[in-house]
Amino acid sequence: MADSNSTGCALSARWCWPQPWQRRWPRTLCPAPLLSTSALAVSLLATDSSHPDRAALLTRIAGNGLVAAVAWDDVDMACARDHGGQRTLTGSAARVCDGHDAQVLLVAAQADGDETLFSVELDQPGVSRRRLTGLDRARTHADVTLTEASATALGPVSGQLERALRTARITVAADLVGVSAQCLDLAVAYAQQRRQFGRVIGSYQAIKHRCARMFIETEQARSCVRDAAWRADHCPDGLDLAAEGALWFAAQTAITTSADLIRVLGGTGFTWEHEAHLYFRRARAQAVLLGDQMRRSARIADRLIAP
């Protein structure tokens, strides 16, 4: 139970500071390696920052803007030693997020009977990358093929990749909340200035109800993401379900709100000249980036209903 003074301060702060729906943060579909480097690579390396090579990579990311990509899905990689004792990797990693622009690739492979994390400099001989054209125009993917490429062992990776993926789910969910919020702002701004039959279209029930639903779902998604982010710092026991649930709800909301934006815009929303299709693309692409919605909802149900 909070005392009266602390409660009064909290209430004052609540009403004095702008509420989330009153803020207008600048948003853009920036092609930055937020997911690959900040969420996945940093989280993966930080699980054992005492390792000197991991610490060196973290320093390069923080100080020199190193772009690191992580191969976590559809990886077929074999490790060997060359004549000088140096580790080499041969194999492929499909659909690596930001793999075309990355300077370092983090990938797991079996070494001496253990699953080990390796870092591979991508500007060396023996590395080839094929850029993929995806639905999201603001994010790059690539198929990466290694042929006896030199690699640095970064220690065991058992369980670490799944912990990094939990952070990635929260990051993707937060990005999708930004997509939903931007779609809401664009829809409301258009509804307030577009006129039909002598009235702004925002005065019509069909438009105002749609915008109201977009607002409600966006704020619900924001609450889910904030809860997952809080649990990441304070309550890791419930983080699996919170991260999965936040991503599921945020993805569903972004898909709905980006489609609703196009409907509010009418004919304008279906043109390439308007930016609405970029947010629609981001919502659809992000929804399946870390697993599709059907499997995600099945995992949530299993955690909630399992005895």
CA distances from 202 to 56, 94, 191, 206, 265 (A): 55, 46, 4, 8, 11
Place 111 in a pLDDT band, splitting at 50, 70 and 90. Answer: confident
Q: Which of 131, 157, 183 represents a domain boundary (last residue)?
A: 157
Q: Are residues 112 and 175 in the same domain?
A: no
Q: Which two tokens stand for residue 264?
A: 């509010």
Domain encompassing residue 149: 34-157
At 15 the pLDDT is 31
Q: Are residues 77 and 123 in the same domain?
A: yes
The answer to whether position 234 is within a domain reads: yes
What percent of the chain clears pLDDT 90, i.e. is strictly above it? 45
Residue pair 232/289 in contact by the 8 Å Cβ criterion: no
Report the domain count for the chain. Answer: 2
Place 300 in a pLDDT band, splitting at 50, 70 and 90. Answer: confident
Residue pair 131/87 in contact by the 8 Å Cβ criterion: no
At 115-146, the pLDDT tens digits run 899 999 999 999 999 999 888 888 889 999 99
Residue pair 296/247 in contact by the 8 Å Cβ criterion: yes
Q: Are residues 69 and 165 in the same domain?
A: no
Q: Are residues 298 and 180 in the same domain?
A: yes
Q: Are residues 93 and 189 in the same domain?
A: no
CB burial of 123-137 (b: ≥16 within 10 Å; e: otherwise) equals: eeeebebeeeeeebe
The total number of residues shown for the chain amounts to 307
At 156-196, the pLDDT tens digits run 888 888 888 889 999 999 999 999 999 999 999 999 988 88
Q: Which of 98, 130, 157 represents a domain boundary (last residue)?
A: 157
Predicted TM-score (pTM) of this structure: 0.84
Q: What is the mean pLDDT of residues 9-18?
A: 33
Q: Are residues 226 and 124 in the same domain?
A: no
Q: Are residues 143 and 276 in the same domain?
A: no
The answer to whether position 247 is within a domain reads: yes
The answer to whether position 206 is within a domain reads: yes
The total of other beta-carbon atoms located within 10 Å of residue 154's CB is 22
DSSP state of 289: B
Decide: helix, strand or coil at residue 120.
Answer: strand
Q: Domain with 130 in it: what CATH number?
A: 2.40.110.10
Q: Is the dihedral of CA 189, 194, 196, 200 positive or negative?
A: positive
Q: What is the mean pLDDT of residues 234-238?
A: 81
